[in-house]
Copies of this chain bind each other. A is one copy, B any other.
Amino acid sequence: MIESVDNSKIKELRKLKDKKYRDSEKLFLVEGEHLVLEAYKANVLKKIVLCNYDMDLDVEKIEVSQKVMATLSELPSKVSVIGVCEIKSNELDLNSNILILDGVQDPGNLGTIIRSSVAFNFKNIILSNNSVDLYNIKVLRASQGMNFHLNIVRCELTNKIKELKDNGYTIYGTDVINGIDVKSVKNDKKYAIIMGNEGNGISKEVKELVDKNVYIKMNDKCESLNVGVSASIILYELNK
């Protein structure tokens, strides 16, 4: 059992709290039994770190003291198992519709959107480079393992959107004022829907590539909805 917080293995794992190291090592951490099992089922689980606990999984096991576990965990409550998972590169399914997130910053919002995407049969998400990291522990917690059911890629948006247009996609923006009520959208073609940043909406360069805007009808006392809510209502409406 590893009892030293300065153990080299533990130090390496602790670095994975930083996006920089996750990107270079192609590894990320998940906390708690539920997410560890989801990672295992998704075939990305490499190792588990255990504290007074066991799980019957065919992967390398590292036993640690409670003190060591506490330095790895980012949850306020005690965690008995942390999974070390491989970042696999995803590919979009270009026969399916796509959700594009342009600068969504809040981890809870991204997690919520991931859950709703699975709920309403959306298979693809594109994250702009300035969106919150998918492997941020709060994003993973809020997405409840649903990220493993989706194709999620991270890239520069303008070129990718041009490529989608060449592939026959209609590009929908979201705009409170101008646009068609999401209830009236007819989906005879493949489409991508863009949701913007919490404070600033869709960026200028991306707006220029939009074919049509959709909106959600609401009382004008309310300026806007939370982005997790508006994305979810749009996916809910478009789900066939």
Contacts and interface: CB of A to CB of B under 8 A. Distances in A.
A126 B148 CA distance: 36
A221 B119 CA distance: 7
Nearest to A220: B119
| A111, A146, A232 — most chain B CB neighbours (10 Å) | A232
A118 B222 contact: yes
Contact-residue size bin, chain A (C-beta under 8 Å from the other chain): 20 to 34
A37 interface: no
Interface string A65-88: 000000000000000000000000
Contact of A216 (B142, B219, B222, B236): B236
Given A228-B228, A232-B232, A232-B233, A222 B119 contact: yes
A112 interface: yes
Contact of A229 (B149, B221, B224, B229): B229
B112 A223 contact: no
A170 interface: no
A97 interface: no
Across the A-B interface, give the 10 residue pairs with the lowest CB-CB distance, nearest first: A119-B218, A119-B222, A112-B226, A229-B232, A118-B222, A118-B221, A121-B219, A233-B236, A149-B221, A119-B219
13 contacts: A108-B108, A112-B226, A115-B222, A115-B225, A115-B229, A116-B226, A119-B219, A119-B222, A144-B223, A216-B236, A226-B232, A228-B229, A229-B229
